[in-house]
Amino acid sequence: MRRLLCSAVVVATLLAGGCGIPDESDVTIVDDGPAVGISVGGGDEPPVQPRREDSDEPKTLVGNYLQAAAGDPETASARVKAFLAPDEAERFPSGNDIKVVRETEPSLHNPGEAEVKITYQVLGTLRANGVYEPVVPADPVGYDLRVGPVNGRPGQFILDAPQTMMITDVAFAAFYTPRTIYWWNTANTGLVPDLRYMPLSVPTVQQPTTIMGWLTGSPASWLTDTVNQLPQGTQLTENVPAISNDTLTISLNAQAVPQGADARALERLRQQLQWSIRPLVPRTIEIKIGHDEPVRTDDGDYLDTNAAYRLADDPERFALYGGVIRRLRVSPHATDPIPVIKQAANKNITSAALSSSATRAYAAVVTGSGAAARLRVAQATLGEQADIEPVGSLSGNLGTPVWAQTPDGDDPTAAVGLITMGGVIYSFDASGANARRVEWQGSPGTVTALSVAPDGHRIALVSGGRLFRAALSTSGDQITLGDPERVQPPDLKTVTAVAWNSETSLAVAGLRPNNRYAVLDVTIDGTLATIRLSDIGAERVTYLTAYPLRPVNPERLAPEWYVAGGDAWEVLSEPVRLVPENLTDVTAQPELNATAPFFLD
Amino acid sequence: MRRVLRVVRRYWRVLVRRFDVWLAPARRAWRRSLQLRVVALTLVASSLLVGAFGWFIADRSAKILLSRAQDEVQISMRNKVAYAEQQLTVHPQARDPRLPSTFTLIVNQLADGDPSESGGSVVSIRAGKFPELPSMTSPNVATDELITPELIHDVADQEKVARQIVTARVNDRTTKYLATGSPVPTSFGHVELYYMVPLTTEDSAANQIRTTVLATGLALVVMLGVIAGLVTRLVVTPVRVAARTAQRLSAGLLDQRMKVDGEDDLALLAASFNQMAANLQRQIVRLEELSRLQRRFTSDVSHELRTPLTTVRMAADLIFAERDEFDPAVARSAELLQAELDRFESLLTDLLEISRFDAGFAALDAEHADLVPIVERVAERLAGLAERVGVQIELRLPDQPVIAEVDPRRVERVLRNLVGNAVEHGEAKPVRVTLESDDAAVAITVRDYGVGLKTGEERLVFNRFWRADPSRARQTGGTGLGLSISAEDARLHGGWLEAWGAPGEGAQFRLTLPVRSGDRLLSAPLPLIPRDRAPALPETPPETPPEAAEPKAEVV
């Protein structure tokens, strides 16, 4: 009996407690940890950003303060607040926009006093998405920043500062690098560049993630009507991992390619992406949409989608000599005939524009002068020539024509050219149909110079001595110009001529405050100027042309020519005059100068 | 302390005693019932067997379930670690301000990407080597219970992939989790990824298996017990029937038989039993018949001898009366004839008495009588003989009359016999007769100091025609049936006649009779072994225990 009881207890205990999944167990080591796989070297060390503790000297502290916001936009506010006294930091408005200012005078500080006076001019606003928006220049303002200690905390603090994040243009240049991202134009025929500024503090491995963040956001406001955004709701679902095995993997949510999207949408996305992440050039792009299988593309073609890539390294150069288009001797194909225009029609020309696509060439010439001036156009297959047709409803004070869009197809009406007549912009096509006035929102001034970017959708123009940029919208049957934004090239009080010299920069000629003319290369938002020629005399520059650089080798300087006082000059380390000897098939005539140089673009 | 212990011990003893008392019926049942023993042993053995087997199965299945879950988690963990590693490649520095947001993204992505059927899995990422980095968990629950310091030590410090089963309270539900941790290599060192999968499904499956095994095992044990009970009953019932039949047989019901069912072993047992019973019955009946014939023969012979004996007696008496006129030698013969005829006559009387007893014709003629005068009368009658052999009869009688419901004739005969024997074997030493009585019984002892009885003879003395020494001549001409008749007389009264004797110490006979006829005797007022035997004790060899030396008293 007792045995029975005992064994029953034993069995019950065994069954109840001995088996089943235990409540707790010891730690079991399964395996060694994974070996370190991808190791991305730090490589490029970002510039060191000064901190508040670095200096107690008021002027230096203020100088450091004016660099604090530069860098990662999400933590910019925290960096700025670290400089501020706690109660001031509490009042400091949140927001990620940073004002870029130029200190027009060095900061002033009387020893022993708390105030540091800064005088600055706001140049633009740097948004969190890297877009820099220039503002209409205003007069410099002064501000007294107060510097002092805070109870119980070591070091000096900024006790009073403007209620906005600001960095100097010097810090802007030091802590940011320009990056171009691309958007498809509304007709999905080509990419439109959009200039952004990336903090140098972003490690190389994070740049694709940052760029993807920009691409899933909105384009710069002035391009909104001209380009297609990614579909609404597109989001990066995870970081873009470092490139390994020459493969870049991008994961987007399902909205990136919505149901019923056109079949090339994913390919376009890849091309847009590949252009945007340049100079990173992984061989393989892997795009994962939602929970679909990733789509791999090895050595996918994308370069041609950017019109700027199709530009020549060494452009064909032309100039007018005595109303006739002549090739320059240094130009490639110097012995070839003039494209499109027949020998007989090549006369009495005052300005001309030649453009070519992959299969066709287009010509637009202004003949005659004064009231008799006419615009004539022609188009032909490459190597062929055609009669030039007059364009109706244009006469009188005509500017230099430019070709904005030159399609490959055999449809002359699809081409878009622009010309000013009496300071108003007109558009024309290659068929000789009547030119139409380009609608321009706001109050248009007199346009004196006009240049179209290689993508054909962005325009730089000069009106009333000021430089503007605007987007050209050709998607509807109407060709319209977006609201022009004023761009202030540094150090020029009057702008007289402009030309695109790369996909994101302009060559600008204008009058400096010392009343001398200069030629500058500025970015499309007016920052980061390179002075090409600082002083070319007091003679007004009436015409400027440049052949944009291809985006694949941006280190070079673009070929630029300007016309001042009737003479054409090439912009080199110093201006070099274009003399008739430089032209082919020309016998030099005294008192007759080569003028209006231009490129086959 | 000792007192306390004592108290405890006392209570323990009391408890044990109570328990024993309480358990006594069970113990008795255990001793008596073969069926109970077989069933109990079967239950014990089968529960051990089924328990061990069930435990083995339940344990194995739980282990299999667990190992499958572990394998799945490990594969999933490998993918998760690869994903986290890939995501963390974008952070070359631990102080990267975007690292926490990547942590969040990783845990959210990994927790979301988890198949929903596993339900409630928790993903956590930590950086043990970088205390300034926050740990992130998705869904956002406290992980203190889920991720134990031992696991952290193995993963963060030893850089091993490790796992542990923990039970934790998450979202107000206590759940078993399989926590797996793995280091994730990054450019700046390594962080740790923890993946906690609830084992709810596995646990409930294991519990179900366990419950099923337990229930099945219990049912099996119970069934085995029932089967054992039934089978045992099948065997035990005929055995019990056989036992009962045997009991009845032994009680004299010779015509009891077992029922024979079928042709199996038990039927064979029953048949054999019945055959045995039949044989026994036949034998017993035959023996009874034989015995009856014998008794009848004795009785008849005695009766038939009586008539010629009477004639012979009359003639002998005549001759004896005229003996003086004869030749002395003839006279001597006449005397001898007379004596032998007396003996013959008393032998016949005794034989007839015996045969009456044997035939069951002896009847007790009980009446209330005083035993003291009976004893005195017997002593008186034998005084002559005693005087002749030089024996003194001492009577120790109570002063008051000793009244008992007895047959005085038979009691007198018994006493005459006993005292006569004592005188005969007294060797000129005194014979003591003692009478004593209590509420229930009367005892009379007759003590002599003669040669006594040898060991074993105290039983033989009551046999018919028994002699202590067959070669010894009879002085008194006893028939050899006296003690047998006395014993029958005592039995007829429902009393005892017992003898005690030791060589050289004499003998003592005790007659015990119930005061009321028909009462059952329980004890005697006088001891069988005489009180005066004490001085003789030292003479007994020391190595012999007194009990062994005591000749056994015979209860008749």
Phi, psi (5° rounding) for residue B151? Answer: -65, -45
Within 8 A of B198 by CB-CB distance, chain A residues are none
pLDDT for the residue numbered A111: 85
Task: Give per-residue pLDDT as tens, B138-190.
Answer: 877 787 888 888 888 888 888 889 989 988 887 778 888 888 999 988 888 88
For residues B167 and B500, what is the distance between their CA atoms, to the nearest angstrom?
88
Task: Give per-residue pLDDT as tens, A438-450.
Answer: 877 766 688 888 8
* A237 lies within 8 A of chain B by CB: yes
pLDDT for the residue numbered B269: 82
pTM of the model as a whole: 0.66
Q: Are A192 and A182 in contact (CB under 8 A)?
A: yes
* B48 lies within 8 A of chain A by CB: yes
Q: Which of residues 214-233 of B touch A (CB under 8 A)?
A: 214, 217
Q: Do A456 and A508 have their domain in common? A: yes
Query: Are B55 and A15 in contact (CB < 8 Å)?
Result: yes
A88–chain B nearest CA distance, Å: 24
**Of B71 and A56, the one with more pLDDT:** B71
Task: Give per-residue pLDDT as tens, A3-48.
Answer: 556 656 655 555 555 567 888 888 888 888 777 655 555 556 777 8
Tally A–B CB contacts below 8 A. 166
Residue of A nearest to B69 (CA): A21
Q: Do A323 and A298 have their domain in common? A: no
pLDDT for the residue numbered B554: 45
Q: Do A242 and A96 have their domain in common? A: no
Residue with tokens 């850089």: B159
Task: Give per-residue pLDDT as tens, B344-378.
Answer: 888 888 888 888 888 777 888 889 999 999 999 99
**Of B475 and B83, the one with more pLDDT:** B83
Residue B400, C-beta contacts closer than 8 angstroms, at least 6 positions apart: none
When divided into structural domains, chain A yields a total of: 3
Grade residue A432 by pLDDT with cuts at 50, 70 and 90.
Answer: confident
pLDDT for the residue numbered B265: 82
End-to-end CA distance of chain A: 110
Q: Find out whether the peptide bond into B408 is cis, omega within 30 degrees of 0.
A: no
Task: Give per-residue pLDDT as tens, B249-274.
Answer: 888 888 888 888 888 887 888 888 88
Q: Do A139 and A226 have their domain in common? A: no
Task: Give per-residue pLDDT as tens, B308-328.
Answer: 888 888 988 888 888 888 888
Query: Are A35 and B185 in contact (CB < 8 Å)?
Result: yes
Grade residue B204 by pLDDT with cuts at 50, 70 and 90.
Answer: confident
* Residue A186 in domain: yes
Task: Give per-residue pLDDT as tens, A57-68.
Answer: 888 888 888 888
Residue A371's domain is classified under what CATH number? 2.120.10.30
Residue range B100-113: average pLDDT? Answer: 83
For residues A369 and A400, what is the distance between their CA atoms, to the nearest angstrom?
12
Grade residue B552 by pLDDT with cuts at 50, 70 and 90.
Answer: very low
Compare CB distances from A37 to B91, B185, B207 and report the shortest one's residue. Answer: B185
B130–chain A nearest CA distance, Å: 18
Residue of A nearest to B182 (CA): A33
B241–chain A nearest CA distance, Å: 27
Q: Are A122 and A143 in contact (CB under 8 A)?
A: no
Within 8 A of B166 by CB-CB distance, chain A residues are 24-25
Kindly state the percentage of chain B with pLDDT values over 70. 93
pLDDT for the residue numbered A444: 66
pLDDT for the residue numbered B547: 39
Query: Are A15 and B97 in contact (CB < 8 Å)?
Result: no
* B166 lies within 8 A of chain A by CB: yes
Residue of B nearest to A6 (CA): B44
**Sign for the pseudo-dihedral over CA of B423, B425, B431, B437:** negative
* A17 lies within 8 A of chain B by CB: no
For residues A599 and A40, what is the distance between their CA atoms, to the nearest angstrom?
44
Q: Do A258 and A183 have their domain in common? A: yes
* Residue A12 in domain: no
Best to test chain A binding among B61, B98, B209 (most A CBs inside 10 Å): B98
Q: Do A573 and A538 have their domain in common? A: yes
Range of the domain at A158: 52-174
pLDDT for the residue numbered B120: 78
Phi, psi (5° rounding) for residue B409? Answer: -60, -45
CA angle B118–B119–B120, rounded 5-degree value:
125
Within 8 A of B199 by CB-CB distance, chain A residues are 21
Tell how strand A360-367 and strand A374-381 pair up: antiparallel
Reply yes or no on whether the pLDDT at B97 is more than 70. Answer: yes
For residues B420 and A202, what is the distance between their CA atoms, to the nearest angstrom?
144
Task: Give per-residue pLDDT as tens, B396-425.
Answer: 999 889 899 999 989 998 998 899 888 888
Compare CB distances from B102 to A8, A28, A239 and report the shortest one's residue. Answer: A239
Grade residue B549 by pLDDT with cuts at 50, 70 and 90.
Answer: very low
* Residue A47 in domain: no
Q: Do A66 and A123 have their domain in common? A: yes
* Residue A18 in domain: no
- Average pLDDT value over all residues in chain A: 84
Residue with tokens 């005690």: B500
Query: Are A20 and B203 in contact (CB < 8 Å)?
Result: yes
Task: Give per-residue pLDDT as tens, B287-297.
Answer: 989 988 888 88
* A45 lies within 8 A of chain B by CB: no
pLDDT for the residue numbered B546: 37
Q: Which candidate, A313, A364, A227, places its Cα nearest to that of A548? A: A313
Query: Are B47 and A20 in contact (CB < 8 Å)?
Result: no
Domain termination site, one of A256, A289, A307: A307
* Residue A289 in domain: yes
Reply yes or no on whether the pLDDT at A546 is more than 60. Answer: yes
Q: Do A131 and A186 have their domain in common? A: no
Domain termination site, one of A174, A200, A232: A174
Q: Are B498 and B487 in contact (CB under 8 A)?
A: no
Task: Give per-residue pLDDT as tens, B416-453.
Answer: 889 988 888 888 888 999 999 988 899 999 998 888 88
Phi, psi (5° rounding) for residue A370? Answer: 65, -140
**Sign for the pseudo-dihedral over CA of B537, B539, B540, B541:** positive
Q: Find out whether the peptide bond into A412 is cis, omega within 30 degrees of 0.
A: no
For residues B381 and B485, what is the distance between their CA atoms, to the nearest angstrom?
19
Kindly state the percentage of chain A with pLDDT values over 90. 6
Low-confidence winner among A320-324, A395-399, B548-552 (lowest mean pLDDT): B548-552
Q: Do A592 and A578 have their domain in common? A: yes
pLDDT for the residue numbered B551: 40
* B204 lies within 8 A of chain A by CB: no
* Residue A17 in domain: no
* A25 lies within 8 A of chain B by CB: yes
Token pair recorded at residue A580:
């008739």
Grade residue B541 by pLDDT with cuts at 50, 70 and 90.
Answer: very low
pLDDT for the residue numbered B470: 64
Low-confidence winner among A262-266, A501-505, B499-503 (lowest mean pLDDT): A262-266
Within 8 A of A42 by CB-CB distance, chain B residues are 92-93, 187
Grade residue B477 by pLDDT with cuts at 50, 70 and 90.
Answer: low
Residue range B534-555: average pLDDT? Answer: 41
**Of A516 and B128, the one with more pLDDT:** A516
Reply yes or no on whether the pLDDT at A476 is more than 80. Answer: no
Within 8 A of B87 by CB-CB distance, chain A residues are 238-239, 241
Q: Do A491 and A376 have their domain in common? A: yes
Report helix, strand or coil for A86.
helix
Report helix, strand or coil for B84.
helix
Q: Do A267 and A337 have their domain in common? A: no
Q: Are B265 and B273 in contact (CB under 8 A)?
A: no
Task: Give per-residue pLDDT as tens, B207-248.
Answer: 888 888 889 999 999 999 999 999 888 888 888 888 888 888
Q: Do A226 and A260 have their domain in common? A: yes
Query: Are A203 and B183 in contact (CB < 8 Å)?
Result: no
Domain termination site, one of A157, A174, A191: A174
Within 8 A of A240 by CB-CB distance, chain B residues are 90
CA distances (Å), A95 to each of A87, A126, A127, in order? 18, 12, 10
- Average pLDDT value over all residues in chain B: 84
**Sign for the pseudo-dihedral over CA of B199, B201, B207, B213:** negative
pLDDT for the residue numbered B113: 66
Within 8 A of B86 by CB-CB distance, chain A residues are 38, 241-242, 249
* Residue A519 in domain: yes
Reply yes or no on whether the pLDDT at B542 is more than 50. Answer: no
For residues A552 and A36, what is the distance between their CA atoms, to the nearest angstrom?
35
Kindly state the percentage of chain A with pLDDT values over 70. 95
Residue of B nearest to A204 (CA): B90
* Residue A23 in domain: no
Query: Are A34 and B185 in contact (CB < 8 Å)?
Result: yes
Query: Are A23 and B59 in contact (CB < 8 Å)?
Result: no
Reply yes or no on whether the pLDDT at B119 is more than 70. Answer: no
For residues A185 and A475, what is the distance between their CA atoms, to the nearest angstrom?
9
Amino acid letter, B422: A
B57–chain A nearest CA distance, Å: 9
CA distances (Å), B81 to each of A34, A205, B181, B482, in order? 8, 19, 10, 118
pLDDT for the residue numbered A39: 52
pLDDT for the residue numbered A498: 92
Within 8 A of A51 by CB-CB distance, chain B residues are none
Task: Give per-residue pLDDT as tens, A273-330.
Answer: 888 888 888 888 888 888 888 888 888 888 888 888 888 888 888 888 888 888 888 8
pLDDT for the residue numbered B556: 42
